[in-house]
Structure 1
Amino acid sequence: MMKPARGDHAVHRQRMTPAASSIVTRRPGGGVEADPAQAMGIALAWHREGRLDAAEAIYRNLLDHGLRDANVLHFLGVLTHQRGRAREALALMRDSLALDPTVADWHSNIGNVLLETGQLDAAAAAYRQALALRPDHPAFHNNLGVLLREQNRPEEAERAYLRAVELAPDYSDAYSNCASLYQALGRGEDSLRMFWQALLHSPRHSRSRRLLGLALFNLGRLEEAAAVYRQWLEDEPGNVQARHHLAACGGAEVPERAADGYVEEVFDGFANSFDAKLALLHYRAPELVAGQVAACLGEPRAALDILDAGCGTGLCGPLLAPYARHLEGVDLSAGMLAKAEPRQVYHRLVKAELTAFLQESEPASRDLIVSADTLCYFGRLAPVFAAAQATLRPGGWLIFTLEAVDPALHAQGAGPEGFVLNPHGRYSHDGAAVRRDLEGAGLEPVTFDSVHLREENARPVLGWLVAARRH
Structure 2
Amino acid sequence: MSIMNRPDHSRQQQTFTIQQALDLGVQHHTARDLSTAEGIYQQILKADPNQPDALHLLGVIAHQVGKSDVAEELITKALSIKPDWAEAHANLGNALMAQGKLDEAAASHRKALEIKPDFAEVHNNLGNALKELGRLEEAVASYRKAIAIKPGHLESHSNLGTALRDLGKLNEAEASHRKSLEIHSSFAAGHYNLHPFLLDPGNMEASIECMHKAVELDPESTNYRFYLGMLLDYSGKSRDAKTHFDLVENGARSGRAKLDAWRYIKSANDKIPPMVGSSFEGFKIGFDAAKSDGLVLEFGVRFGTTIRQIAAIANQEVHGFDSFEGLPDAWHNEPKGSYSTKGVIPSVQENVILHSGWFEDTLPDFINKHEAPVRFMNVDCDIYRSTKTVLDLLAKQIVAGTVISFDEYIGNETWRDDEFKAFQEAALQYGWNYEYLCFSFVSKQVVVRIN
Q: TM-score, normalised by structure 1?
A: 0.54
Structure 2 alignment gaps of length 5 or more: 1-28, 31-43, 268-300, 312-318, 345-355, 359-378, 399-408
1:331 aligns with 2:335: no
Match of 1:88 among 93, 96, 104: 104
- CA 1:433/1:116 → structure 2, altered by over 3 Å: closer, same or farther? closer
In structure 2, the partner of 1:5 is none
Q: Judging changes above 3 Å, is the alpha-carbon distance between structure 1 residues 155 and 172 closer, same or farther for their aligned structure 2 residues?
A: same
SS in 1 for 2:330: strand
How many residue pairs end up in the alignment?
Answer: 323
**Residue identity opposite 1:182 in structure 2:** L
The residue identity in structure 2 corresponding to 1:462 is V
Counterpart contact for 2:302–2:339, Cα < 8 Å: no
The Cα of 1:82 is off from its aligned counterpart by 1.6
Tell me how far 1:212 sits from its aligned partner.
2.5
Q: Is the 8 A contact 2:324 2:340 kept in 1?
A: no
In the alignment, the residues of structure 1 paired with residue 98 and residue 170 of structure 2 have an alpha-carbon distance, to the nearest angstrom, of 29
Which residue, 228, 242, 248 being the options, matches 2:255?
Answer: 242
Q: Which amino acid counterpart does residue 374 of structure 1 have in structure 2?
A: I
Q: Work out whether 1:461 is the aligned partner of 2:447.
A: yes
Q: How far 1:219 sits from its partner (Å)? A: 3.3
RMSD, aligned α-carbons: 5.2
Residues 81-137 of structure 1 deviation map (CA, whole Å, 9 limit, x = unaligned): 221122221112111101111221111111122223332322222112211222122
Contact kept in structure 1, 2:52 and 2:81, CA below 8 Å: no
For 1:83, the aligned partner's letter is Q
Mapped to 2, the partners of 1:226 and 1:328 lie a distance apart of: 40
Q: Summarize deviations over 1:317-366 as a string: whole Å, max 9, x none.
A: 3599xxxxxx952321326744349559999xxxxxxxxxxxxxxxxxxx
How far is the alpha carbon of 1:60 from its aligned partner?
1.9
CA displacement at 1:36 relative to structure 2: 0.6
Distance in 2, matches of 1:376 and 1:116, equals: 25
Alpha-carbon contact 2:72-2:92 (below 8 Å) kept: yes
Matched, 1:129 2:145: yes
Deviation at 1:73, TM superposition (A): 1.7
Question: Any conservation in 2 of the 1:222–1:249 contact (CA below 8 Å)?
Answer: no
2:163 to 147, 151, 156: 147
The residue identity in structure 2 corresponding to 1:241 is S
Shift of 1:208: 2.2
328 and 274 in structure 1: CA distance in 2 versus 1, 3 angstrom threshold: closer
For 1:374, the equivalent position in structure 2 comes to: 383
- 2:200 equivalent to 1:194: no
Question: For 2:168 and 2:428, how far apart are their aligned partners in 1?
Answer: 41
Conserved? CA contact 1:209–1:228, under 8 Å: yes
The 3 A distance-change label for structure 1 pair 331 and 149 is closer
Task: Spell out, residue by residue over 1:2-38, the C-alpha distance to the aligned partner (whole angstroms, 9 max, x if none).
Answer: xxxxxxxxx98xxxxxxxxxxxxx98xx995432111
Partner of 1:299: none
2:126 — aligned with what? 110
In the aligned structure 1, how far is the partner of 2:56 from the partner of 2:113?
18
Question: Is contact 1:230-1:246 (8 Å) kept?
Answer: no
Asked if 2 retains the 8 angstrom alpha-carbon contact of 1:281 and 1:455, the reply is no
Partner of 1:259: none
Say if 1:142 and 1:174, in contact at 8 Å, map to a contact too: yes
Instruction: Letter of the 1:75 partner, please give it.
Output: N
Task: Quote the Cα distance in structure 2 between the aligned partners of 1:189 and 1:181.
Answer: 12
- Give the letter aligned to residue 87 of structure 2: N
Partner residue in 2 for 1:6: none
* Distance (Å, rounded) in 2 between the aligned partners of 1:145 and 1:436: 37
Equivalent AA in structure 2 for residue 112 of structure 1: N
Residue in 1 that maps onto 2:323: 317
CA offset digits 1:215-260 (Å, max 9, x no partner)? 33443545544542222233x2xx1122223334449xx9xxxxxx
In the alignment, is residue 138 of structure 1 matched against residue 154 of structure 2? Answer: yes
Maintained 8 Å contact 2:329/2:335: no
CA distance in 2 between partners of 1:274 and 1:215 (Å): 32
Deviation of 1:275 (Å): 5.3
Cα 1:455–1:246, aligned 2, differ >3 Å: closer, same or farther?
closer
Percent of pairs with identical residues: 20
**Alignment of 1:229 onto 2:245:** yes
Residue 212 of structure 2 aligns with an amino acid whose one-letter code is W
For residue 151 of structure 1, report the CA deviation from its aligned partner: 3.5
CA distance in 1, matches of 2:386, 2:241: 21
Q: Is the 8 A contact 1:183 1:215 kept in 2?
A: no
Of the structure 1 ranges 95-104 and 59-68, higher mean CA displacement relative to structure 2 is found in: 59-68
2:71 to 44, 47, 55: 55
Which amino acid letter does the alignment assign opposite residue 84 of structure 2? R
Distance in 2 (CA, whole Å) between partners of 1:400 and 1:206 is 39
C-alpha distance in structure 1 between counterparts of 2:336 and 2:105, whole Å: 18
Q: Aligned to 1:461, what secondary structure does the other structure show?
A: strand
> Partners in 1 of 2:185 and 2:192 — Cα distance?
13
- Partners of 1:248 and 1:215 lie apart in 2 by 14
8 Å contact from structure 1 (residues 145, 157) kept in 2: yes
Distance across 2 between alignment mates of 1:276 and 1:333: 24
Distance 2:89 2:159 in 1: 23
Gaps of 5+ in 1: 1-10, 13-25, 255-272, 284-290, 293-314, 321-326, 348-369, 379-384, 389-396, 405-420, 439-444, 465-471
SS at match of 1:462: strand
- Other-structure match for 1:159: 175
Residues 66 and 160 (structure 1), Cα distance of their counterparts in 2 relative to 1, 3 Å cut: closer
Of the three residues 81, 88, 93, the one matched with 1:77 is 93
The aligned amino acid for 2:339 is K
- In structure 1, distance between residues paired with 2:116 and 2:421: 58
